[in-house]
Amino acid sequence: MYYPQQSPGIPHKLSNHHDANPWRLPILVQQPGQQSSVGPPPPSPGYALYNNGAIQHHPGHHPLQHPPLQHHHQSSMSHYPSPPNQHTHQQQHLIAAQGSPASTTPVATPQWQQQLMKCEMVRASRSPHHRARASAMASRTVAKSAIPITNPNLVKPPPTPDQSNGGMGDGSPDGSPVNGNGVVNSQRPSTPGLMTETSRPTAIKPPENTWTSLDMGGVNIKNLPSTSGLFGFTFLINLYLNHNALSSVPLEISKLRHLELLDLSANNLNSLPPELGMLSQLKEFYLFDNQLSTIPPQFGSLHQLQTLGIEGNPLDPMLKTMVQKDGTRALITYLRDNCPVETDPPERVWKHLIPPQEQEVLAKDPNVETCSIMCYNILCERCATEKVYGYTPSWALAWSYRKGRILDEILKHDVDIICLQEMDIAQYEDYFTANLSQHGYEGVFWPKSRYKTMKESDRRLVDGCATFYKADKYKLVEKHLLEFSAMAMQRQDFKKTDDMFNRVLGKDHLAVICLLENKHTGSRLIVANTHVHWDDAYRDVKLVQAALLVEEVEKIAHHFAKYPPPPPGFNGILPPTSEASSSSGANGIDDSSDAASTSASALDEPSSSRPPPTPAPIYRPPPIYTDGSKIPTIVCGDFNSLIPSGVYEFLNNGSVPPTHPDFMSHTYGRYTSEGIRHRLGLKSAYSAPGAPAEALITNHTPTFKGHIDYVWYSAANMTVNKVLGEIDPAYLDKVVGFPNPHFPSDHIAIASEFRIKPPRETAPSRQPSTPSS
């Protein structure tokens, strides 16, 4: 109940003398002519007032020295006990004013003071659509001049801690103006998240709408059905369901992924759905005055949460003490690191893109040559910080855990070539080279150029690109390092452009190109492994880096085609001589007397017991490449570009015009005067018929989910046999983002198997290779 002499908009509750919690603030009784206030405990002098997000104190009032009187919070406002009679009320006030010399009062932490102030703010919002009406009233009383007049000499003061951590500006108590009928106008809370994530190529934004906040508080809602249309309002940023009669919240509320403020205070909730942990954009989450005894551990993924309002709940004392002493972040961290690990997701399976009959034919053909490759951004140790990945358990973010999971993922698929991005020097030398060499791999690695300017201890943390290949199948002919900024500096048409200096030159991204030769067939393969700039505000730089890469690949391929083929017998199989050919029968079997003679015992031996004859190795001349475009080429890496982008269009179509919007009106020599083009004929392996191009998610974080890693191949001389399938969509819908205990990087590995087409100029020979004696 409310005190009859107080405003109906401000609730005050009775103190409970049986509550020994030392963290509660004293209730100060209002006297005639005196303002009502709630304040922090001593040593602050006088009564503390919560005024527009700041704490103020009455001057001249002596500090309190008695143990604080306590609030008694229950789950519903209707459960408040009746106020005492005036005599008892005055006695309590006199005790509070005089204090007791022998008593001491523990000092509440700033975090808990902030919690209690927000709690009182929420309790003052029990009337129907309180925030919406307050905001509407505030917006009507603000006079707006036709010509704004400002003081040019006025220096804007920096925000106070209260203003920057929940302080309310004009409008509703959370700073969101309304347009009436309980709908609050679009305005995000002014408080930034504590754990901000590094920018992604495209951040997930809420759908466009004229309003993004909804106030349904104080209207006695008793049930929210799971089919409610409310859960279709995915554009909502603020949602108020406070002071209703809800006994449960449906898990469908987790569909409102863009919520930053959710108020469920003063209901009858005794449990919460774990799916609320999917609302990773939440910054303010009020649960005041319910019947909650625990918090689901899945709430540990609410890494941006600044305030979890728990006051007024019979909460587990251990959880409550964490908030009282160290604030919301301490509780969220505890829940995150102690959350039970869910069951493993279904294994990713290879998707065959050719019919089963064709698979059988190819498996039996000894002349078919295949090549499998994996592309994987492993998230280097230096970048995997709690500030960026605050939703990941600390033990799952530690490199000591992640490196083993990464190695398992690589070895599980047993590919011929592995292209890794964000590999740092220390891990390449100390871990991956040693472990992959045990499985027959050799590697090539270059770090970003910044390592040249660093001392030894720091340079070992610089990341770059690493390419590993199976040494029993491929021979490394050459390796090339491409540093995009250095390549841009060498271009004559780039040297006089300011955009090159201001935008391209400062990015030290690179590519590693390996020229490989198959030890068994003599066929050649070009593999480019790259990591392109991430920031979507530099789409022009991404396009320039992709153009520089493909230009250089074309030049390298042209020179590689001029190299002579391997000599006869390079694979241990000698070509047949003319004598061997003449002594061979029509079926390629030696007809000489020695070879044709058979012992009597062999003749007497039943045919069923004789093992089938081992076919003689077939000599095939190595292919001859008349042009660089005839050499099979793979360009893979983290391109940080979605399918509808200039980078994708350039690589897939072979050209983009000079007026392409991704150039962003910047000037880059011939690129922006003539356009860019290439003749490699590249296609994405995951865009092949039957591959999950649009459905594939290669990067998954709370603010971004998309396909930005690619394996490009030259379609003229390679075809896709199969690709590694996507992650189970049902699992992704329950995961805030990567890395997590199951996936050790924010990217996932993608892999493909290709069939190499031999050049038409060199049809394989099927003559026997063993000459007669």
Q: Which residue has the higher pLDDT, 310 or 454?
A: 310
Residues 412, 278, single domain; the answer is: no
pLDDT (mean) for 292-303: 96
Residue type, 481: L
Distance between CA 347 and CA 314 in Å, rounded?
A: 42
For the chain, the average pLDDT equals 78
8: Cβ contacts below 8 Å, ≥ 6 apart: 2, 127
395: left (phi over 0), alpha (psi -120 to 50) or beta: alpha
pLDDT at 203 over 50: yes
Pairing state between β 48-51 and 682-684:
unpaired
Least confident of 14-18, 105-109, 453-457, 574-578: 14-18
State the residue range of the domain holding 263. 213-338
pLDDT at 465 over 90: yes
127 within a domain of the structure (yes/no): no
Give the pLDDT score at 150: 59
Least confident of 45-49, 227-231, 688-692, 726-730: 45-49
Give the pLDDT score at 452: 84
pLDDT (mean) for 358-379: 91
Residue 407 near residue 439 (C-beta atoms within 8 A): no
Distance between CA 439 and CA 436 in Å, rounded?
A: 5
17 within a domain of the structure (yes/no): no
581 within a domain of the structure (yes/no): no
Residues 420, 538, single domain; the answer is: yes
Q: Is 638 a catalytic residue?
A: yes
Tell me, what CATH number does 298's domain have?
3.80.10.10
Residues 313, 441, single domain; the answer is: no
Its pTM stands at 0.75
pLDDT (mean) for 61-83: 39
Chain-centroid distance, C-alpha 14 = 48
Residues 632, 708, single domain; the answer is: yes
Domain count, the chain: 2
Computed from CA positions of residues 304, 309, 314, 318, in that sequence, does the dihedral angle turn out positive or negative? positive
109 within a domain of the structure (yes/no): no
pLDDT at 653 over 90: yes
pLDDT at 127 over 70: yes
Enter the tokens of residue 463: 């990341």
Residue 425's pLDDT band, with cuts at 50, 70 and 90, is very high
Least confident of 79-88, 108-117, 402-411: 79-88
92 within a domain of the structure (yes/no): no
Residues 642, 716, single domain; the answer is: yes
pLDDT at 87 over 60: no
Residue 576's pLDDT band, with cuts at 50, 70 and 90, is low
Residues 401, 289, single domain; the answer is: no
Burial class (CB in 10 A: 0-12, 13-18, 19+), 72: middle
Give the pLDDT score at 234: 93
Residue 428's pLDDT band, with cuts at 50, 70 and 90, is very high
Residues 405, 510, single domain; the answer is: yes
Give the pLDDT score at 176: 44
pLDDT at 407 over 70: yes
Residue 502's pLDDT band, with cuts at 50, 70 and 90, is confident
Residues 404, 323, single domain; the answer is: no
Enter the tokens of residue 29: 């009784």
What are φ and ψ of residue 474, in 5° steps?
-125, 150
Residue tagged active-site, from 162, 463, 590, 638? 638
Give the pLDDT score at 506: 86
Residues 320, 395, single domain; the answer is: no
Residue 445's pLDDT band, with cuts at 50, 70 and 90, is very high
227: Cβ contacts below 8 Å, ≥ 6 apart: none
720 forms beta bridges with: 754
CA distances from 100 to 20, 421, 710, 724, 733 (A): 17, 67, 73, 74, 58
Residue 26 near residue 20 (C-beta atoms within 8 A): no
Distance between CA 383 and CA 458 in Å, rounded?
A: 14
Residues 722, 691, single domain; the answer is: yes
Least confident of 206-210, 416-420, 552-556: 206-210
Computed from CA positions of residues 186, 191, 193, 199, in that sequence, does the dihedral angle turn out positive or negative? positive
The closest alpha carbon to 29, from 39, 42, 21, belongs to 39
Residue 103 near residue 66 (C-beta atoms within 8 A): yes
Tell me, what CATH number does 497's domain have?
3.60.10.10
Give the pLDDT score at 91: 41
pLDDT at 302 over 50: yes
The closest alpha carbon to 516, from 442, 590, 449, 453, belongs to 442
* Start-to-end CA span in the chain (Å): 111
578 within a domain of the structure (yes/no): no
pLDDT at 9 over 80: no
748 within a domain of the structure (yes/no): yes
Residues 279, 406, single domain; the answer is: no
Residue 267 near residue 292 (C-beta atoms within 8 A): no
Distance between CA 402 and CA 195 in Å, rounded?
A: 21
pLDDT tens, 699-723? 999 989 999 999 999 999 999 999 9
pLDDT at 505 over 50: yes
356 within a domain of the structure (yes/no): yes
Give the pLDDT score at 606: 55
Residues 697, 669, single domain; the answer is: yes
